[in-house]
Amino acid sequence: MMSPCPPGERPNGARSREPRPPVFREEPLSADLVIASNRGPLSLVRDEDGRLVSGHAAGGLAPSLARALEGRSAVWVAAAMSTAEHEAAARHLPIETDGGVQVRLVEVSPETFGAAYRVVANGTLWFLYHGMFDRVYRPVFDRHFYEAWDGYRSYNESFVDVIEQVAADGATVVVNDYHLALVGSALAARRPDLRTVHFAHTPFCSPEELAVLPRSVATELIDGLSSFGVVGFHTERWVEAFRRCTTALDVDAPRLVAIPLGVDAAELHRRSESHETAKRRDELISRLEGRKYVFRSDRVEPSKNVVRGFLAFEEVLEGDAALRENVVFGARLYPSREELPEYLAYRSAIERAAQRINNRFATGSFTPIELEIADDLDASLVGLSVADVILVNPLRDGMNLVAKEGPIVNQKNGVLILSTEAGAFEQLGEESLAVEPYDVHGTAAALRRALELPASERRARAARLSTLASVRPPTEWLTEVVASAKRAKPAGSG
């Protein structure tokens, strides 16, 4: 499953491969395993000659799951987004990806999609689950929100219609993420034979945070999720948060599981040792001229806490003249959700902070922060592989696979600085240097400590981290998720 592209950590876009015409199956499919997610594993566009071609496979959750599905007989149900995808969806036939995965696209009108994706899923649920509402200005549940909530319902219904068609009798349906919280209740009513799982690649909020939602919406949400046979998260901590929300609203919790995803070490090594990556690595090493390298790779995403990371680095430079000019902070970020004003504003805040710190400390031959915002997965692998220190300091994160990819590809016994609020902390916390995400001063101290850690300790930590990071790679993870569904009672059996 890995491109270096964890279910949570990568951008909307781009994987490189030659576009080719999509391969439609000739007849509808009926599968024992159905995966559903908003964004699927392929994207369709019209090329310059007007031909329908399947372009890049989408990023985010999709590449991770796609590799786990290779060789399994499954159908993946995902939303049609581009005009070309809408045309393809109208044929009601599965399309086969390069990896042999069958994809059925769901037609949703642009208005409904916008309401569900932008207003509800990313503008509300994402902020709620990551604890990102400031509460002074947001959230605001006005008439527009209630209309969008209707749109979210109908978006979920459209998925139910397609899942119903492609799921064989008694099939297992694995529904991913917060875009599709309401699919479970309709499936339980209409297809009680199915085994259904909702797997959240995000964190979950506390009952106190959930209480910002209008009560009717919160109840519909928690009821909807609880109508699945199983609800899964990457860590016990988010399971517990969800359980507490069910109790607070007096809803019967379904079977709850924590199944932490690990990374596919062999695949990561293959990519990071390609000729092209090796060449770029050599270029970076020679550009650094022996300076230490702090590195991060993230989506441009408010929950990733990029600005505070820069502020902590600034404190390090401020307090230690000897380090100035001897350490570089590389930040490789991927554009994300640019249709949301909060994301555009956060991008500007990142750029401004980097610029300000560079203006303060740069000299003729040295720039302290090298910020790049582009879809460039290989550049991230290169950075992760030569980093002396890898900084992963999210405000809150479902898992955070960069924290696992880093130790696998790193060639310098790099030290991992990890937020206590990342799901990955449950597995990697002991071998990393822990930081509290809002504590900039504490993060600066962790950066200094990481830069000074004795070689023997770096080596020992790095070895243990890379073992822990590759526990339960994607294929095993999916097998466990499916098995958890089989152990639960069918969703409609009350």
The smaller minimum CB distance to ligand G6P, of residues 428 and 447, is found at: 428
Q: Residue type at 28?
A: P
Q: Within positions 307 to 346, which residues make up the interface with ligand G6P, using CB under 6 A?
A: 336-337
Q: Which residues in 32-51 contact ligand G6P (CB under 6 A)?
A: 38-39
Q: Which residue has the tokens 């479970």?
A: 184
Closest approach, Cβ 373 to ligand G6P, in A, equals: 15
Report DSSP letters for 378-446, one per residue. Answer: HHHHHHHHH-SEEEE--SSBS--SHHHHHHHH-SS-PEEEEETTBTTHHHHGGGSEEE-TT-HHHHHHH
- Cα separation values, 452 from 214, 294, 312, 413, Å: 50, 12, 16, 13
**Tokens matching residue 486:** 């089989």
Of 336 and 443, which CB lies nearer to ligand G6P in the complex structure? 336
Minimal distance, residue 180 CB to ligand G6P, in Å: 10
Return the residues of window 83-122 that contact ligand G6P according to CB under 6 A: 122
Q: Can you give the length of the chain in residues? A: 494
Q: Does residue number 400 form part of the binding site for ligand G6P (CB under 6 A)?
A: no
Report CA-CA distances (Å) from 183 to 7, 146, 249, 300: 20, 19, 19, 29
The only residue of 43, 112, 202, 277 in contact with ligand G6P, by rule CB under 6 A = 202
| Residue of 234, 231, 185, 170 whose CA lies nearest to 34 | 170
Which region, judged by CB under 6 A, interacts with ligand G6P, from 5-13, 67-75, 160-168, 454-462? Answer: 5-13
Is the Cβ of residue 60 or residue 474 nearer to ligand G6P in the bound state? 60
In the complex with ligand G6P, the residue whose CB is nearer, 204 or 329, is 204
Q: Which two tokens stand for residue 480?
A: 């466990």
From the list 397, 399, 381, the residue with the least C-alpha distance to 469 is 399
Count the site residues for ligand G6P by CB under 6 A.
14
Among 398, 407, 414, 473, binds ligand G6P (CB under 6 A): 398
x/- site string to ligand G6P, residues 58 to 87, per CB under 6 A? --xx--------------------------
1, 4, 12, 239: which one binds ligand G6P (CB under 6 A):
12
Shortest CB 29 distance to ligand G6P, Å: 24
Sign of CA dihedral 171, 172, 178, 184: positive
Span 177-196, contacts to ligand G6P by CB under 6 A: 177
**C-beta closer to ligand G6P: residue 11 or 368:** 11
- Please state, in angstroms and rounded to a whole number, the distance separating the CA atoms of residues 332 and 346: 15
Alpha-carbon gap, residue 74 to 31, rounded angstroms: 6
246 binding ligand G6P? (CB under 6 A): no
Give the whole-angstrom CA distance, residue 452 versus residue 467: 23
**Residue number, 297 or 336, with CB nearest to ligand G6P:** 336
Alpha helices, DSSP H only, in 90-169? Answer: 110-113, 126-129, 143-166
Residue showing the smallest CB distance to ligand G6P in the complex: 8
347 lies in the site for ligand G6P, by CB under 6 A: no
* DSSP-assigned letter for residue 123: I
Which of 201, 234, 347, 448 lies at the binding interface for ligand G6P (CB under 6 A)? 201
Nearest CA-CA partner of 254 in 2, 471, 494: 494
Find the binder of ligand G6P among 4, 8, 94, 262 (CB under 6 A): 8
Q: Minimum CB separation from ligand G6P for residue 415, in Å?
A: 25
Cβ neighbour number for residue 91 with a 10 Å cutoff: 11
- Contact stretch for ligand G6P (CB under 6 A) within 4-12, 78-86, 370-378, 454-462: 4-12
Q: What is the per-residue binding string for ligand G6P in 263-302, x denoting contact by CB under 6 A?
A: ----------------------------------------
The answer to whether the CB of 435 falls within 8 A of the CB of 389 is no
Contact positions vs ligand G6P (CB under 6 A): 7-8, 12, 38-39, 60-61, 122, 177, 201-202, 336-337, 398
